[in-house]
Structure 1
Amino acid sequence: MREVWRELADLVLPVDCAGCGRPRTALCAACRLALGRGAGRVRPEPAPAGLPRVWAGAVYADAVRAVLLAHKERGALWLAEPLGATLAGAVRGLRTGGGPLLLVPVPSARGAVAGRGHDPVRRVALAAAGELRRAGAAVRVLPALRQRRVVADQAALSVRQRLANVAGALVVRGGAGRPLAAAPAVLVDDLVTTGATLAEAARAVVAAGGRVAGAAVVAAPRSAFEINWN
C-alpha cells in the first residue's frame, strides 16, 4: 500500500529534478545525460579475490548520486526506468554474446526492503531487462540470492572489514540452481565501491553450479573506472 501511495504522489504533486533540483521537471536533460554518458569497465583497488569483471553505466557523483538516492531511499519509484536504462548499458558493455542471460540482483536485507517499501536493486534490474529485451536480447531477472545471516551496514567499514562482513553471507535460493546452470549470470547492483559484495555474490553462484559472466552496476566512483572520465 505504501508503494501505491508513493506512485500516486509522484503523479499528482509538483516535483523538482531528482538529480539537480531544477524546478518543475522530474528529471532534466542534463541529469539524463549524466545517467546515459556511457558504460565503462571498473575495477576497485585493491580488488577482492573472486571479483568478476565489472562494468558501470555512470560515474557515482553529483546528479547520478542524487538520482540513485532518490530512488533507493526516498521512494521515487519511477526513477527505476532511467536507472534501468543506465544499467542496461553496463550489461551491454560486458559483451556476453547473443545467448540467454540471467540478471541476478544482489539481495537487500529483509529489514531494509521493509523499511523502504521496495527492493531498489531488483526494481532497477527488471527495468534493465525490459530495456534489453526491447532491443532483442534474451534476458530475464532471476532473484537467485538471499542473505543467510545478518550483515552490518557497510558504509563506515574499511575494505578489510567489508570483506569479513559479507564473507559467506549469501546463498542461492532453493530451486534457483537449475536455471543458473542453464544460462550465464550477470550480477547486478546499484553501486560498486570495494567490490566485496559482488565477489561474495559470485562465490555463491559458482558454489551452486552457476557461471558468472560478469557484473553490471548503475554507477561506480570515478577513481574505479579504467578509462579516463574528463
Structure 2
Amino acid sequence: MRGWWKDLTDLVLPAECGGCGRPRTALCPECRAALSGAVPRRVEPVPEPLGLPAVHAAARYEDQVRAMLLAHKERGALALGAPLGAALARAVLAGPGAAAASGGTPVLLVPVPSARRAVRARGHDPVRRIALAAAGELRRRGVPARVIGALRQRRPVADQAGLDFQQRQRNLAGALAVVPGAGGLLAAGAVVLVDDVMTTGASLAEAARAVRAVRYAGGADGVGGPGQGPGGSGAGGPGGGAVSGVYERTGRERGREPRDGEAERGAVRTAVRAGVQAAEGAGAAGAAVVAASPDAFEKCRN
C-alpha cells in the first residue's frame, strides 16, 4: 500500500532533493552530478572478506550520495529509484557486465535480499527497486538484462548497522541460500550480484557463496548451503558458476589465522581468486553497487 501511494504523491506534491534537501525537486542538478559524474571503478574493502567477487561501484558513499541512498531506503523517496538504478547500471557495465554485454549474453542482476521485517517496515524493497531500474536502463542501452530474485535469507540476521567487520561476517555466515528452482535460472546468463551500498563486503561475499554453492551442487532445484562444492569440500573446482572470486575456506583454514599477518592474507586472497577464476573459466561475472565506502576506492586508486 505504502509503495504505490508514495509513487502517486511524488507525482502530484512538491518534493525535496534527496541529496541536499532543496525544495520542489526530487534530485537537483548538483546532486545528480555527484551521483552520475564519477567514473565507476573497481573497489575493495579493507580488510577484504574471503569469497568477495570483483565489485564495481558508481560513486563514493559520502555526502549527497549517502543522503540519496538513505532517503530512498529509509524515508521512501521512491523517485530516487530511477537515478540510483542508472548509476547501478553504469557500475554493471564498467565491470561484471562488460564482457556479457559485448557478447550478447543476458545479464542477470541478483539483488542481495533484505530481511522481510525490514521490507515490511520500509514499505518497499530498496535494493530490488534499484535493480529493476538498472535492468531497464541496461535494456535501453541494448543489453539484455533482467532481475532474478534468486536469494533468500535462510535464518534471521541482526541489523548490520554498528557491527564491525568480524561481527558482520559472523552475522551473515551461511545466512543466504538460493531459492528452490532458481538454480536453472542462474544458468541462463552472467550473474551479477547487486546491492545499494558496500561497506565491509560481507553481504556480497555471503551472496556469492550461496550462488556458487548451488552451482557446484548442480542444483537447478536445490537450495545452496554453506560449504557445498565438488565432493562436498567447498574448496573450489569446475562448476560453470558465473560469479567470480567465490571461495569457501577448507576446514584446516577455518581453524587458524595466517601467521605472517596481512602480507600472507593478501597472498592467500590472490591465489584463491586466481584459482577460482581459472576453475570457473572466462566470462565470469562479479558484483556491482551504487556506492562503496571511500576507503574501498582508495585501495584501488591505481
TM-score for the superposition, normalised by structure 2: 0.74
2:17 matched to which residue of 1?
17
Residue 57 of structure 2 aligns to a residue whose secondary structure is: strand
Question: 1:93-112 to 2 correspondence within 5 Å?
Answer: 93-94=94-95, 95-98=98-101, 99-112=105-118
Aligned residue identity for 2:202: A
Instruction: Flag as ranges the 4+ runs of structure 1 deviating above 3 A.
Output: 226-229
Question: 1:124-163 to 2 correspondence within 5 Å?
Answer: 124-163=130-169
Q: In the aligned structure 2, how far is the partner of 1:162 from the partner of 1:122?
A: 22
Deviation for aligned residue 1:191 = 0.3
Question: 1:171-186 to 2 correspondence within 5 Å?
Answer: 171-186=177-192
Deviation for aligned residue 1:169 = 0.2
Q: In the aligned structure 2, how far is the partner of 1:93 from the partner of 1:50?
A: 21
2:214 matched to which residue of 1?
208
Q: In the aligned structure 1, how far is the partner of 2:7 from the partner of 2:88?
A: 22
Q: Could you report, residue by residue, the CA deviation over 1:143-189 in whole angstroms, capped at 9, with x for unpaired residues?
A: 10000000001111110111110000000001100011232210000
2:8 matched to which residue of 1?
8
1:38 matched to which residue of 2?
39
1:220 matched to which residue of 2?
292
Q: In the aligned structure 2, how far is the partner of 1:25 from the partner of 1:79?
A: 11
Deviation for aligned residue 1:228 = 4.4
Deviation for aligned residue 1:227 = 4.8
Q: In the aligned structure 2, how far is the partner of 1:105 from the partner of 1:140?
A: 11
Number of equivalences:
229
1:84 aligns with 2:156: no
Q: In the aligned structure 2, how far is the partner of 1:4 from the partner of 1:15?
A: 16
Deviation for aligned residue 1:137 = 0.5
Q: In the aligned structure 2, how far is the partner of 1:228 from the partner of 1:203?
A: 27
Q: Is the 8 A contact 2:44 2:300 kept in 1?
A: no
Q: Could you report, residue by residue, the CA deviation over 1:62-104 in whole angstroms, capped at 9, with x for unpaired residues?
A: 1101111111111111111000000001001112333111100
Unaligned runs of 5+ in 1: none
Q: In the aligned structure 2, how far is the partner of 1:156 from the partner of 1:16?
A: 28
Q: In the aligned structure 2, how far is the partner of 1:53 from the partner of 1:84?
A: 19
Q: Is the 8 A contact 2:57 2:91 kept in 1?
A: yes
More strand, by proportion: 1
Deviation for aligned residue 1:23 = 2.3
1:26 matched to which residue of 2?
26
Unaligned runs of 5+ in 2: 216-240, 244-284
Q: Greater RCO between the two (CA within 8 Å, min separation 6)?
A: 1
Residue 185 of structure 2 aligns to a residue whose secondary structure is: helix
Percent of matched pairs sharing the same residue: 65
1:170 matched to which residue of 2?
176
